[in-house]
Amino acid sequence: MGKQYYTVTYGCQMNESDTERINGQLAELGYTEAPSMEEADIVILNTCSIRQNAEEKVYGKIGEIKRMKEKNPDLLVGIMGCMAQENKGKLISRMPIIDFVLGPYHIHDLKDVVTEELQERQHVVRTQMNPERVKDYSELRAARKSHIFAWVPIMQGCNKFCTYCIVPYVRGRQTSRTVEDIVREVRGLAAEGYKEITLLGQNVNSYGLDFRDGTDFGTLIRALDKVDGIERVRYMTSHPRDMTFDMVDAMADSPKVARQMHLPVQHGDNEMLRRMNRGYTIEHFMELLAYVRKRMPDITVTTDLITGFPGETEDMHQATLRLLREAQFDSAYTFIYSPRQGTPAARMEDQIDDAVKHRRLQELMDVQNEISLAKNRAMEGKVYPIIVEGATKQDDNNWYGRTSGNKMIIFPKEEGLAVGDLRNALVEQGQTWVLKGKLV
Ligand code: 5AD
Ligand code: SF4
């Protein structure tokens, strides 16, 4: 029997996308996907360093793999992604069962490492930042999970240096793929029958600025809107500092671009935003949000919030609660501030007590959940076009699809229904996280 791989992904969509390219490389070597980790000949963890708890999950998994390797010494173990970049060779000195450590710029090397280098030496570590590699991203075959929905990375890295964030250190400076390269990949996906693509970047609104030739995210949006065959274009993540009114116009004028925007505000207090080095004020954010909604009244807007950032007073926390009520996001991803070694915020005084952080997190979630529920209830009785995604995890007879605004509608399966079908769904019941309804 041929060799099998097992890859575990932690963190964001960029990592999910990278995993598809990692799996694509292994497939080119003749590996197939193992049904379980225990059956694999090679296990790769594609890791995340965004918060401490993401790292802890990985360390837990490595413990599990160590026991597997004691039984099967031939098992190959690789650490890739952001923790690989952050910890480099230290990972292997701490945990010698790891055979190789490859940073985010080294997916290209995986085949050589597995077939040649590990024959000659025991361990391989590659973590050089190599932005040139972003240019040949499309050469990396992806073993995509879906044949309807595809991730398309449009850039790597980030130049923003928010004081809490480790991404600029582990993913390096911003490097964009060219418009031509991206359009070529998307045309190829359309030809293969893909219906929906999601453009990925740490800060998509600064896409193309590194070319210094006038190219920006609006240019890319306008180009992709013309690709025949693709029904929907989504993207994430936006940055309120780099999102221009012109980009909002580009989006509003592009019927294929989904009516969905993930626009992380992070905090409701200007002094906190300044300490986070976010580069905008709440007033600017609200003005931008108002323009987005004026141009696209039906748009879904979601956000990220950090609670318990150093120096956050009770008044500042109240400002975030007020912002939530005013901004009326469809949903908010709320995170407890996690100090990341090497970032400026980790060295700031006035770190907040854990119990206070947890209480504030709960207060944010309580306010937002009420808003999310009200928003979803307001959709009751209306009909929305959806792309069918398949059965829910819980029940084969209940299927789901998403609206242009990325809201999930669950409905009873109909005879002959297939993944990728374009249908209309009537919302009968709005809940906090999902909508229930039926096809019409
Ligand atoms: N602690 C907590 N949350 C963080 N994020 C980024 N860095 C940290 C950190 N050190 C959050 C931000 C970002 C999201 C992806 O993760 O809200 O938008
Ligand atoms: Fe994790 Fe952030 Fe890296 Fe994504 S960019 S993999 S969330 S650390």
The reported pLDDT for the residue numbered 8 is: 98
Mean pLDDT to the nearest integer, 348-360: 97
Q: How many CA atoms lie within 13 A of 192 on its CB side?
A: 15
CB 395 within 8 A of CB 381: no
Cα 200 vs. chain centroid, distance in angstroms? 7
**Residue 133 pLDDT greater than 90, yes or no:** no
The model's confidence at residue 138, banded by pLDDT at 50, 70 and 90, is confident
Question: Which residues on adjacent β-strands are paired with residue 332?
Answer: 303
The reported pLDDT for the residue numbered 383 is: 98
CB 179 within 8 A of CB 226: no
Looking at all shown ligands, the one closest to residue 164's CA atom is 1
Mean pLDDT to the nearest integer, 111-115: 96
Q: How far is CA 262 from CA 18, 41, 98, 198, in A?
A: 21, 38, 36, 12
Provide CATH 3.30.750.200 ranges for the chain: 293-378
Helix (H) or strand (E) holding 181, with range, is helix 179-191
For residue 272, the CA-to-ligand 1 centroid distance in Å is: 14
For residue 151, the CA-to-ligand 1 centroid distance in Å is: 21
**Residue 200 pLDDT greater than 80, yes or no:** yes
How do residues 268-277 score in pLDDT, each as one tens digit? 999 999 999 9
Backbone angles phi, psi at 332, to 5 degrees: -135, 135
Does ligand 1 come within 6 angstroms of the Cβ of 338? yes
CA 37 – CA 121 distance, rounded (Å): 25
Mean pLDDT to the nearest integer, 162-184: 96
Q: Is the dihedral of CA 125, 8, 141, 234 positive or negative?
A: negative
Among 2.40.50.140, 3.30.70.3040, 3.10.105.10, 3.30.420.10, name the CATH number for the domain at 383-439. Answer: 2.40.50.140
Least confident of 13-22, 123-132, 148-157: 123-132
The reported pLDDT for the residue numbered 57 is: 96
The reported pLDDT for the residue numbered 213 is: 96
Give nearest CA residue, ligand 2 atom 6: 48
Mean pLDDT to the nearest integer, 226-232: 95
The reported pLDDT for the residue numbered 95 is: 94
Mean pLDDT to the nearest integer, 279-300: 98
Q: How many CA atoms lie within 13 A of 288 on its CB side?
A: 23
Specify the ligand 2 atom closest to the Cα of 48: 1
Give nearest CA residue, ligand 2 atom 2: 50
The pairing of strands 398-402 and 383-391 is antiparallel
**Residue 136 pLDDT greater than 80, yes or no:** no
Give nearest CA residue, ligand 1 atom 14: 304
pTM of the model: 0.95
Residue 274, token pair as written in the block: 């300044």
Give nearest CA residue, ligand 2 atom 4: 12
For residue 427, the CA-to-ligand 1 centroid distance in Å is: 33
The reported pLDDT for the residue numbered 399 is: 98
Tell me which residues have their CB closer than 6 angstroms to ligand 2. 11-12, 14-15, 48-50, 81-82, 167, 170-171, 202
Give nearest CA residue, ligand 2 atom 5: 167
Question: Which residues on adjacent β-strands are paired with residue 301?
Answer: 261
**Residue 131 pLDDT greater than 90, yes or no:** no
Looking at all shown ligands, the one closest to residue 339's CA atom is 1
Provide CATH 3.40.50.12160 ranges for the chain: 4-131
Provide CATH 2.40.50.140 ranges for the chain: 383-439
CATH code of the region 4-131: 3.40.50.12160
The model's confidence at residue 347, banded by pLDDT at 50, 70 and 90, is very high
Dihedral angle at the C-alpha atoms of 374, 375, 378, 381, nearest 10 degrees?
-120
Query: Nearest Cα to 307, choosing from 351, 341, 343, 241?
Result: 351
Architecture field, domain 146-258: 2-Layer Sandwich (3.30)
Does ligand 1 come within 6 angstroms of the Cβ of 264? yes
**Residue 341 pLDDT greater than 90, yes or no:** yes
CATH code of the region 293-378: 3.30.750.200
Looking at all shown ligands, the one closest to residue 171's CA atom is 2
pLDDT mean across residues, the chain: 96
Mean pLDDT to the nearest integer, 289-298: 97
Provide CATH 3.30.750.210 ranges for the chain: 146-258
How do residues 99-109 score in pLDDT, each as one tens digit? 999 999 999 99
Mean pLDDT to the nearest integer, 190-213: 96
How do residues 14-63 score in pLDDT, each as one tens digit? 999 999 999 999 999 999 999 999 999 999 999 999 999 999 999 999 99
Looking at all shown ligands, the one closest to residue 334's CA atom is 1
Mean pLDDT to the nearest integer, 385-407: 96
